Amino acid sequence: MDVRFTDEFDGGFGWTVADKLPRTAHALATSQGVWLVDPVDAPAAVERARGLGEISGVIQLLDRHSRDCEALAAQLGVPRFEVPAEEIPGSTLLVLPIVRSRFWNEVALWSNEHRTLVCADALGTLPFFRAPGERLGLHPLLRLRPTLVTRSLRGLTPEHVLCGHGEGVHGETAAAVLEEALSTARRRLPRAWANAARQLARRRS
């Protein structure tokens, strides 16, 4: 397994597993323990997460992001929260609804301790998600109805935006980058879709 550590910050870290669409998982260190978010079972990453403190639970943000959530929760003897609709017991993490439908069920997380927003597929930094020139973009399908995302995320001022696919956005510009992604999503839809089509064609070749 080709694993690369990423998103290094005071509140945790991420790890990306190489694939046709690289998958990024995160360990969040909070005052209530360490939470694994949409994790992929990479032994070095899990061991590093355990070094941050006691693992409190595994959180799955997206219905189709089962990844290794169930297996790791069982292995570590901690609860698994699958697309939680409400607050997570024993945690100050805020659950933000993104999409709830028969075909797509997703939430995001907000950690006030380190001003961190964690998303699964709603936002991404890989070329598949972005229109040319963007640092962060909405999922191509969510650009059709960006209000599904903006109603929960607009107004947040993160210092860290973490994504399920690709390296996150960090620092003083993170809030402005998030606002730009939300406010221009529909307007940039044609260019974003064209870029996503090119990325899909490359993956299939």
pTM for the complete prediction?
0.95
**Domain membership of residue 103 as a residue range:** 3-204
Q: Which residue has the higher pLDDT, 203 or 49?
A: 49
Q: Considering just the CA atoms, what is the radius of gyration of the chain in Å?
A: 16
Give residue 130's pLDDT. 94
Residues 6+ apart with CB under 8 A from 91: 30, 32, 35, 56, 57
**Residue 74 CA to its chain's centroid (Å):** 22
**Run of H or E residues at 55:** strand 55-60
Q: Which amino acid is at 94?
A: L
Residue 135 backbone phi and psi in degrees, to 5: -90, -30
Domain count, the chain: 1
pLDDT digits (tens, 9 = 90+) for 26-54: 999 999 999 999 999 999 999 999 999 99
| CATH number (domain holding residue 24) | 3.60.15.10
pLDDT digits (tens, 9 = 90+) for 116-165: 999 999 999 999 999 999 999 999 999 999 998 999 999 999 999 999 99
